[in-house]
């Protein structure tokens, strides 16, 4: 016959084993879910990066075309007029170029402040 303390010890050990098993199962499921979320986020980030790269490439091509169309002199002779005409004729390109420049300046400033 077992004593009450032995029964208590056996029950406590059984509860500890059960809790440990459930904790391991929970951790495995959480790890799988986290892995799935990270994979999804990585895929979405890659798609966004591709879209931004494509849009930036298109904006650069348009700017090159704009400068080629300007025949060089107009840009240097009347830069304010040139920019006004570009804003009027191609606002999307001007906004895209400004956004790319702002992003580049922000990244550069972030690298400079992080290095201190």
Angle at which helices 4-69 and 91-114 cross, to 10°: 130
Task: Parse the chain into domains and list their residue ranges.
Answer: 4-114
Measured CA angle at 94 (ends 69, 80), to 5 deg: 70
| Whole-structure pTM value | 0.37
- Cβ atoms within 10 Å of 2's Cβ, excluding its own: 9
Per-residue pLDDT in tens (0 to 9) along the chain, 116 residues: 567 788 888 888 888 888 888 888 888 888 888 888 888 888 888 888 888 888 788 888 887 777 666 655 566 667 788 788 888 898 888 888 889 999 999 888 877 665 55
Token duo for residue 82 = 């040139």
- Cβ atoms within 10 Å of 93's Cβ, excluding its own: 19
Token duo for residue 65 = 């075309």
């Amino acid at each position: 016959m077992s004593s009450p303390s032995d029964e208590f010890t056996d029950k406590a050990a059984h509860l500890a084993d059960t809790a440990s098993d459930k904790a391991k199962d929970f951790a495995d499921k959480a790890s799988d879910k986290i892995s799935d979320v990270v994979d999804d986020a990585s895929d979405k980030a890659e798609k966004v990066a591709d879209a931004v790269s494509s849009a930036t490439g298109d904006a650069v091509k348009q700017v090159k075309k704009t400068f080629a169309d300007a025949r060089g002199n107009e840009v240097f002779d009347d830069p304010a007029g040139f920019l006004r005409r570009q804003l009027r004729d191609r606002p999307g390109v001007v906004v895209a170029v400004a956004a790319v420049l702002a992003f580049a300046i922000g990244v550069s400033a972030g690298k400079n402040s992080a290095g201190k």
